[in-house]
Structure 1
Amino acid sequence: MRIGLFISETGVHGSSIDDLVERATWAEANGIDTGWVPHIPWSLDALTALAIVGRETSRIELGTAVVPTWSHHPYGMAQHALTTQAACGGRLAFGIGPSHRNVAENWYGENYDAVIDHVRDYVSVLDACSAAQAEANETNGGPGGMGGTVSFAGDRYTVQSLLDVPGATPVPVFLAALAPLMLKLAGERAAGTITWMCDEHTHSTHVLPRLSAAAEAVGRPTPRVIAGLPVTVCDDIAKGKELAEQKFGMYRHIPNYARMLELGESGSPSEVAIIGNEEQVTERLASYEDSGVTDLAAMTFAVGDDVDERSENAERTRQLLAKLARKNRD
């Protein structure tokens, strides 16, 4: 299992650009496989942030988890993602998703009904843009040197244009897929899925069977399964679960995540979270790998009664994840 972690804060106040670069360079230097950045209103634009980080790193994969589709027209989103891809030298893992009804309707003023139709067309435009970039790369800039041809006509989006971002390569798309139709689409057409609030049982009985069946039906290998999971190393599990409930308990009230909790055996966000000493965290991560998870996107949090204890446990968590990442690659 590849070991990644969020290199940008997901909580209130977010991260500054300097903080982000510091965390990304630490992750790369210590062997972490992927650095993930969320797209949230109280922090940096995810793709722009990764374009900056891409210039400061050379090996680590850089991912968005995830950019709401409603935030950009797909043609504009594709150019943005291709620019980030050029900035990071082809290391972008582009996570997108339709988010939730509240986000679509209240943040962006869009209609969330029949959301799968929106996502299908959205992915089609992104695919057409990646094909145009590949054409431009192969033909010295495409027709007239102004880019490859982008052509798509769907129910939600129609695009007839050109596109060529110098230095870019086609961008792999990862869908935040939890529901059956979304998992089917991810299996058929995406590089993988990004999950949240899914325990081992949910991955092995809900996510993997649908994803792999869809991929097999169209002659593709099963895509990557990237599990977003809260992770902390500490000696007091009860205290860790109490803090996890404070930080992540709200997700049981969000319909998409509530359904994942109902499908699982853990039942609560604090039970989905990976909490314990180094040995216990390592064992729990192995159980997620056994359930079919290919990648960890660790959302770390620090347990402790005072600043010193929290700092110590935060460092324990980072060092364990780095050690496991290096070991898994050996």
Structure 2
Amino acid sequence: MTAYSIMMPFAPQRPEQLLPFAALTQWSASCLWQGQGNVGDTHISFAHAAASGFRVPMGTSVNLMPFLHPYDAALRAQTLAATTGHRFVAGFGPGAAVLQRGVLGAPYRSQLGAVREYATIVRSLLEHGEVHLEGEYFHCGMQLARYPRPAVEIGLGVLRPRMAELAGEVADVAITWLTPAAYLRDTVLPALRRGAERAGRPTPRLVAVVPMALRHADRDPVALALASNSGHMRLPHYRDMLQRSGISVDVAADAQASGRALIDGGAFLYGDPAELALGIKEFVAAGVDEVVLNMSGVCATYGSRRTLGELETVLGETSP
């Protein structure tokens, strides 16, 4: 059965700002997801929610590898699984080349090679309590104390076929963002299966973070699509993924046309509750195991209170 979850629609400046979304997750959704924190630390916000009584399944979509050594990533993931009492999805991604250069001095020579080493270290620490890896990008010869806790699932951010194949080989969860349903069905899922078959392991769960907004008479859907996604649309790997899915964007040249292309191409869902439910069903039919409702554009434009109400509406529409 497909799960329906919530993406934290903004980076909280204070951890208590996450609590209303954790409460909605507790009552109406399967998991609370949060991206890389650029104001406050995501792991601390999650721990604060659990300590405040909202012990719900949580996941990171995604933590950027240059900011966090894989040993620290494994330690934090294990701690949050124990703290929440639920399985935790530790999602990782290499980030854009410009970010790698800013943090590390140069981009990874091989994005796939760096991700493989990172995931290998994290998995070995979590499953075996130790690791000895001297790689091109990461070195770790350490032990991590193991104790009873819920499972930690290793997730990889996936946009294109080669990363999807790698996720099939080494991850438990493939996490996509801004990817139309047809592209997931025709490109990402087959690549996941190829990687899993090559490694002789089950195909990872496919989690799609789907940006969306409810229709209202006073709203401009293109403005909402841009408020939610204009930053991602400027990054080369997102533009390439969208081009592969038949969506051409160039925010610098024509932001309005780019936002409209997202909507027309099914990367951003816009409509009344029934229409959004139909759009979400397309992701389910494409093979997605978990749909994460992302209303960051609504939140940036209208605030968190209205966003909470609209998330509740859409979750109610998707309930069996």
TM-score by length of 2: 0.85
Pairwise CA distance, 1:246: 4.2
Aligned length: 304
- Give structure 1 stretches of 5+ with no counterpart: 133-147
Against the structure 1 CA distance between its residues 167 and 8, is the aligned structure 2 distance closer, same or farther, given a 3 Å change threshold? Answer: farther
AA aligned opposite 1:124? T
- Superposed CA deviations along residues 238-282 of structure 1, whole A, max 9, x for unmatched, are 722332134423433211110111122454334411111011101
| Residue of structure 1 aligned with 2:124, choices 125, 128, 132 | 128
Give yes or no for the alignment of 1:217 onto 2:198: yes
Distance 1:91 1:3 in 2: 16
| Residue of structure 2 aligned with 1:177, choices 151, 155, 158 | 158
Give yes or no for the alignment of 1:202 onto 2:195: no
Deviates more, 1:93-102 or 1:76-85: 76-85
User: Residue 291 of structure 1 aligns with which residue?
Assistant: 286
| Residue of structure 1 aligned with 2:46, choices 50, 67, 70 | 50
Please give the secondary structure, in 1, of the residue aligned with 2:43.
helix
Asked if the contact 1:6/1:35 (under 8 Å) is kept, the reply is yes
AA aligned opposite 1:120? R
| Residue of structure 2 aligned with 1:322, choices 305, 315, 320 | 315
Which runs of structure 2 are paired with 1:1-330 in the superposition (5 Å)?
1-10=2-11, 14-29=12-27, 31-41=28-38, 43-57=39-53, 60-132=56-128, 148-164=129-145, 166-236=147-217, 239-267=220-248, 268-271=261-264, 272-301=267-296, 314-324=307-317, 327-328=319-320
Please give the secondary structure, in 2, of the residue aligned with 1:172.
strand
Deviates more, 1:104-113 or 1:268-277: 104-113
Against the structure 1 CA distance between its residues 242 and 168, is the aligned structure 2 distance closer, same or farther, given a 3 Å change threshold? Answer: same
TM-score by length of 1: 0.83
Distance 1:260 1:189 in 2: 21
- Superposed CA deviations along residues 96-132 of structure 1, whole A, max 9, x for unmatched, are 1101101111144343221211111111111110123
Asked if the contact 2:276/2:314 (under 8 Å) is kept, the reply is no
AA aligned opposite 2:30? D
- Superposed CA deviations along residues 168-187 of structure 1, whole A, max 9, x for unmatched, are 45521110022332111111
Which has the larger Rg? Answer: 1
Against the structure 1 CA distance between its residues 152 and 287, is the aligned structure 2 distance closer, same or farther, given a 3 Å change threshold? Answer: same
Distance 1:47 1:201 in 2: 33
User: Residue 135 of structure 1 aligns with which residue?
Assistant: none
Asked if the contact 1:174/1:192 (under 8 Å) is kept, the reply is yes
Asked if the contact 1:51/1:85 (under 8 Å) is kept, the reply is no
Deviates more, 1:110-119 or 1:271-280: 110-119
Please give the secondary structure, in 2, of the residue aligned with 1:60.
coil
Distance 2:215 2:174 in 1: 29
Asked if the contact 2:15/2:44 (under 8 Å) is kept, the reply is no
Please give the secondary structure, in 2, of the residue aligned with 1:279.
helix
AA aligned opposite 2:183? T
Against the structure 1 CA distance between its residues 114 and 240, is the aligned structure 2 distance closer, same or farther, given a 3 Å change threshold? Answer: same
Pairwise CA distance, 1:323: 1.4
Distance 1:321 1:56 in 2: 26
Deviates more, 1:155-164 or 1:269-278: 155-164
AA aligned opposite 1:26? L
Please give the secondary structure, in 2, of the residue aligned with 1:297.
strand
